[in-house]
Each structure stands twice: as C-alpha cells, then as structure tokens.
A and B are shown apart, each in its own frame.
Chain A
Amino acid sequence: MKKMTYAEAIREGMRIKMQQDKKVYILGEDVGAFGGCFGVTSGLFEEFGEDRVRDTPISEGVIIGCAVGSAATGLRPIAELMFVDFLTVGMDQLVNQAAKMRYMFGGKINMPMVVRLPAGAGVQAAAQHSQSLEAWLTHIPGLKVVYPSTPQDALGLMLTSIEDDNPVMYMEHKALYAMEGEIEEVKPIPLGVADVKREGKDITIVATGKMVHETLAASEMLIKEGIDVEVVDPRTLFPLDKKTIFESVKKTHKVVIVTEEHKRGGYGGEISAIISEEIFDELDAPVVRIGALDTPIPFSPVLEDYVIPNYIDIVKAVKSLV
C-alpha cells in the first residue's frame, strides 16, 4: 500500500500501460518536456521519448482527429486536452468521427482512444476554463465516460480506459490533482461499476468527481445529527451502474444527486429520470438534484464559491428530505 496524489495516479496508469504496450502513446499541448499544463505527464517524456509523448500545436481539432486516425489504424492514443472547455474546439472529431466510426462502418473498426479532460471549477479559472461538460459526452452514443474521484479510482480507471477498444472520455477534476490517497492495489477497475464511498441507511447521495468529497464532508456533519448518509460514486457515467444505485435507493428510499455541472440539462437529471422511471415505487420523496447554478462560472473567488455547490448545500438538501 502506498500513497499517491490524484495526478500521480493518472500518470502511473498511463506509465504502466505504456510500459506494457508500445502502441500506447500520448499527444497533446505541452505534454512533453513541459510535463503538461497541470504536470500530469511530467517525467513521461524523459522515460518514453518524443515519439511516444508528443507535443502538438494548439490545435484541438487535429489532436482529437489524429487520435481518431491513429486508433483506427492500430495505435492506442491518449489525447490530453488542456481543459475540458477546449473540447468545444475539437467537437466534430469527437462527436461525428470518434463516436460514430465503428457504427457507421458496420462495426468493422476499433476506436481504442482515451481523451483526458481536466474539468471543474475551484481554481478561479473563470468561464472558459472551469466547466463540467460531462452531459455533452454522455449524450453521445459511441462514447464512454469515466470520472474518478480518488487516486485509487483514477489509477484503476486509467488502466481500463486504455485497454478499452472504444473512445473513453476520462474526466479528471483539476482541483483534485494534489489530493493524496491510499493505493491499495494496482488493478484495473471495470467500467460501469460504481463504488459506495460511505455506507449509510437513511438517504442515498449519488455524487461524481469533486462532489464526492463535498458529499463525504456533508455526511460527517449529518451523522452528528443522527442522519446516516450512503454515498454512491458511479465512477463511470456511461456505462452507468444502475444496479448499485438502485440497491442503495431500495434501502434508503430517498435520493439526492450532486454533480458540479449546471443543473439544467445535466447528467444528474438523467440519473434522476432513470430512478423515477425504473424504481419509482421505492421513492418516499422526489429526487433532489444539486448542481452549479445555471450561470457561466464567474472569476471572483466569492462568486465562484457561490455558484458551485458545496457541503452546505448538500446538508440543507438532505435536511429538507428527512
């Protein structure tokens, strides 16, 4: 057992697969000797060389497109976008090409590519560098979407994502990079398997990314008031582990969903709808969603804190239900 930060765990996942398989390579802006904007690829250039850790021009379209073309012809690219926000610049290559090529071609090609997408607010990066765009991705058939919240999950999900023969969107929260955690084992975590981050009996909270930690903090406050929260972290948004979520809801009969994306049109709404459609009779109260306010992410720290949900909002929502 050893400790690693979230950033180190992502890097370790990439390093292990690059050592095992020469077809795995990294491309992106400043991922080489510079080590990536957040330092996540740091040291990989020195270990694997410039052919396998490739600096690209600032051209998000061709970063994703090059990954698509090389994946279709037998390599296993890991494309780093500096911020998930920049995905919008290369969206055609992701949505119309990567996600659809296997289907359009009658299932006759593989598309084994990972796109790393630093997401989320909390670092005062303002409206174009702080978004949570997971709902854009989960909406598109052909993409898989993972969103680890701990170093252990980051490592295990990276190993699996690189092994997957489909495009995997790897969301990583930039405010978690420095967070340390125990690595109990170096083992792939299957996609579509949720993790119960805290067991409880009174209420289920489904949370993703950094909101898992806000929820755990809220849970510690709530238990002091006698409210025992179960925290379910889906870890993979698609494929979604409905079974684990349903099992928890069947136990608690009350659900809060906490995601950092804007509430309007967010993936939290999809999870809520699935619960309502499939196990409505298990619910004792309407599903409550907590998300960012429906505003662009503001710069000023006080405004940013106000727009992004935190443990206080979670405590309040839970109390309204019990």
Chain B
Amino acid sequence: MSLDKGKIIEMYKTMKRIREFEVKAQNLFAEGSIPGFVHLYIGEEAVATGVCANLNEDDYITSTHRGHGHIIAKGGDLRYMMAELYGKSTGYCKGKGGSMHIADATKGILGANGIVGAGHNIATGAGLSAKYKGTQQVCICFFGDASTNQGTFHESLNLASIWKLPIIFVCENNLYGISMSQSRHQAIKDISDRAVAYNMPGIAVDGNDVFAVYEAAEEAIKRARNGQGPTLIECKTYRHRGHFEGDAGAYKPTEEQKEWLEKDPIPRIEKFMIENKIVIEKELEDLRNEVKGQIEEAIEFANNSPYPELETAVNDIYSDIVEEVRVR
C-alpha cells in the first residue's frame, strides 16, 4: 500500500464529506426541503472512498440509486449536487434528474441510476470505449448485493471477461436488497464467488476498512490498466439507514445494527489516524469543521438558487429537437 499522510487525510476528508452530506440530506429531507426519494450512503463511505482514491479524473464510474457517496468520492461538486437534490436550476442536471440521476461527464461520472443493475451494462460500454481508444482509463462499476440477481450482472461480467475490458466491478454488499436480507435473496454468502463463473479474480474485503478497500482496488485497477481484464471486488458493509428515507428499517435486527455500528468506518479511520499520529485531536477537529463548512456552503448555494424556468422541461431531450410546451 502506497499511502502517505497527505493521502490518508484526503481519504478521511472524503469519507467525512460523504457522511456530513448524507446526514444533512437526511435532515433536509425530513424537514421537507428535499423532495422525492433519498437513498443514503451512511455506513458505506469506506467503499467509494477507498476505490476512488485510486482513480484519475478521466477514469469512469457508474453508480446506483444510492449514489451520493460515489459522486463525492469521484470529485463531484457538492454545491451542484445539493442544488440537484433540491430540484434547482443550478443543479448538476438543471433539476431534471434529482438524487437518482446525478452525473458529471467531465469527471467520468456516468450517472447515478434508478434502475437496479443498469449500471453494469453501461460500464461495459465505458470500458470498451477506453480499450477501443487505447487509453489507460478504467471504469469502476459500483452496485449493491441485490443487483447481482439481475441478468445484467451476469451479461456484463461475461462480456467484460471475454473482451478483457478494464472494469472493476465493486459490489457493496450492505446485506439488504430493500427489505430482503442477503441470506433470503440469494443462496450464497460471498458474492465474490460469482467471479469464478466468468473466469476473473473475485475477492471479498472488509468494506468498512478504507485501507483494505483501497488495496484491493489498487491491485484490480493495475490489472485493468495492464490489459488483464476485469475484477470483481465484494466489499462487505452495512447500510445504517433504511432503503430510503421514510423506511425505518424494522426488518434489521437490533443486535445486527449494534454490531455494525461498532464497525462504523468513520470512527474507525479517526482512531487509526490518532493512534498512528497522523493527526492530533485538534487537527481532526479542524478537518471536521472544514468539511462541515463545505456542506453548509453547498446548502446555502442550493437554497439561494432559483427553480428551473418551466419551459426548460421540453429541452435537453434531443440535441436538436425541442418538444412542444404546455400553455397555462
């Protein structure tokens, strides 16, 4: 592992940025400032952070309905993200996408996605694109445990393997597909076992240990950049909240929740940083405040932004056709 002090601090800040963004989103949704559906990434921060800490700006990611963490880790702008959650015109998607469709093509973020398992297929296209053009880019495909029961998972791992595409399939096994526990929705324990069927390496790591995730991704990305094809990495983690805000998660046993809260990745990295003298408590507090300030700034930006003009609803469908407006 090639992590210096500066890199570790950066990774901590990313994790904390995700956590803080999500906690604020939770509150803003509860108070009615954010409409629609919100799926929070709280508890899974080490996965996106550990993987994306290895990436260049022009590498690609595909994401999921639970995408805020991936987008922040890939360098998404918090202000445009928050404005999109509010449905404002300054949002990443001009208010047309919302939480489940945030994208930033300039940073290789090919979109959160509202269809479970859809990102797998799209990732093959991004991987092919890199290979076809002969670049060194890779594509990270983030997805949850439940999406590995979709046909798209199998189609995509198969295609990526036969074409040796530079893709890292990163499964965030948070133990639940909505309310259905992994033990009920599939007959295997380690999703990484499924790699065998596609003749690619499959590894399972502690998804709450950001350094373990970083190392596994580092190795897989190296393979991909060397033309050795895809890897499946299963990161075992836990979703602290319900499937979406409004789901109290009554199906999650209390003991299980308690056990996983003790493995919360944020206190864990903080403890590591203090124990290894990467920071002292005062510096840690400064980092927390710095991140808090960034989130506050994003909320202020979103609050102060206007809603989109109604006529904008009929453009951006095609590059060259604007649909009819409704006169009211």
Contact = CB atoms under 8 A, between A and B. Distances in A.
Interface of A: 25, 51, 54, 56-57, 59, 61-62, 64-75, 77, 92-93, 96-97, 101-110, 141-142, 144, 164-166, 239
Given A69-B125, A108-B105, A62 B319 contact: no
A57 B159 contact: yes
A74 B137 CA distance: 13
A144 to B, nearest CB: 7
B97 A106 contact: yes
A69 B91 contact: no
Contact of B125 (A57, A67, A142): A67
Given A72-B105, A73-B129, A73-B130, 13 more contacts: A54-B163, A56-B159, A68-B125, A69-B125, A69-B129, A72-B126, A73-B60, A97-B122, A101-B103, A103-B96, A105-B93, A105-B111, A144-B318
B152 A107 contact: no
18 contacts: A62-B121, A62-B124, A62-B155, A62-B156, A65-B120, A66-B159, A69-B123, A70-B126, A70-B128, A70-B132, A72-B126, A73-B126, A73-B129, A97-B113, A97-B118, A104-B103, A105-B111, A165-B320
Nearest to B92: A106
A93 B121 contact: yes
Contacts of B105: 72, 105, 108-109
Nearest to B94: A106
A61 B121 contact: yes
Nearest to A95: B115
A62 B156 CA distance: 6
Interface in B82-109: 91-97, 101, 103-105
Contact of A65 (B114, B125, B315, B321): B125
Contact of B103 (A70, A74, A77, A109): A109
A65 B62 CA distance: 12
Interface string B122-166: 111111111011000001000000000001100110110011000
B317 interface: yes
B114 A96 contact: yes
A65 B122 contact: yes
Contacts of A92: 115, 118, 152
A96 B115 CA distance: 8
B129 A104 contact: no
A70 B126 CA distance: 5
B175 interface: no
B297 interface: no
B323 A141 contact: yes
Contacts of B133: 74-75
B318 A65 contact: no
A166 B91 contact: no
Nearest to B127: A69
Contacts of B118: 65, 92-93, 96-97
